[in-house]
Structure 1
Amino acid sequence: MNTAAAQPTVTVLDYGSGNVRSAVRALERAGANVSLSARPEDVLGADGLVVPGVGAFGSVMAELRAVDAIRMIGRRVAGGRPVLGICVGLQVLFEAGVEHGIREEGMGEWPGTVELLPADVVPHMGWNTVKAPEGSLLFNGVEEERFYFVHSYGVQTWDFEVIQPKMKPPAVTWSEHGAPFIAAVENGPLCATQFHPEKSGDAGARLLRNWVQSLKVAA
């Protein structure tokens, strides 16, 4: 039996973000067959897509536009195809980001604005606990663990209106640095974390394994 063929395929979006090799290796250890690519056939055809992000909100949005990633991410979400954002890859899924007084438009998948954390020390760098909702798929088995964050900005409010009565509301996980901020969102096929699961030791490995295993169910 070819065990590799049974592995879910995951594309890590290669659009110019920082070092993504650690994410590729972590996803491989989680049981995925991983490629690093921005080719439409890889982005649209994989069982799962991971959108990493390092740096400024506006720069990441510009880099995503340059490889037509915003359209492709939208197509995946509309078709119920799983997407996982990491760090700024979570932030750009919201309506907007404000950095140094400049507002940049995001993808608008979720309501909210990414803003500077009101903490005495930024960036928020290091390990922190999270408060995951009951029944979380991503945090199954690691609800009480700590995860590794590196960021100065975050979404500090959540106001999601459920339009369809039968629609399941997103599951939102919170953390705190100066004020509460969103640490993760699970919204059907679209999930994202503000922290770096690939740098979060055993807890992050379990979270990625939870996500990869969910791809087998969706496949």
Structure 2
Amino acid sequence: MGRFQLYLLFLVSLGASGIHSHSVWIPKGNLGWEAANKCYIPLSKETLTKAISPNIQNLDRAKMAIYAKESAELRLNSLDCILDNLKLPESELPIGEVLSPSLESGFQLEEHFFQAEWRILLSESRPYPLTPSELSLAKQWLESHNEIKREILNLTIEYLSLKNPKSKRDRFLDLFTGYYGSMLREKDKFYLSLSIESYTSYTEALKQRKETSE
């Protein structure tokens, strides 16, 4: 595994409960992976492993909006870069449809890394594992996560399938920002619904994972 793949594994696994893989990721060997590799740009801000907001009654929507817009801009920048650098055999199909299997492959691997974080969340070996009611909340968060990530993938394919996507960039920026913002809000609602003990033991486990990865 090359340095890019190792770094990406580290980046994605750290932020799995948040807004990971903002730039488009196509795994090596799939159609278009060279362009995606060249166009990958990580977030400039620290990867989030804790809630943004102080409490569930006071969600910090302003800060979420900043993270969400940066994520949306990175996603669109990587898409525009891929369009500028992609070399594909001639096809009557839109680029989004041609790349759909490659994008789906990246999506599935991202979710594989998310499941690694999910196992930490559900682990009973932590000092304060989730209670039955918290497990129910966790399942709700998982459903929201899956739905939002799938919509981001669908929007990615839609953008790449347009004849002149850059002319619709502002519209897609708003749409991507909305989805990333929704993911941040749902994540904060979940984190802040946990008991202090469960929340602390989970974030400590994530911190230890980060230190081990480094």
* Bin for the TM-score computed over the shorter chain: under 0.3
Specify which structure has the higher proportion of helix. Answer: 2
Q: Considering only CA atoms, is the larger Rg found in Structure 1 or Structure 2? A: 2
Q: Which has the higher contact order (CA 8 A, sep 6+)?
A: 2
Specify which structure has the higher proportion of strand. Answer: 1
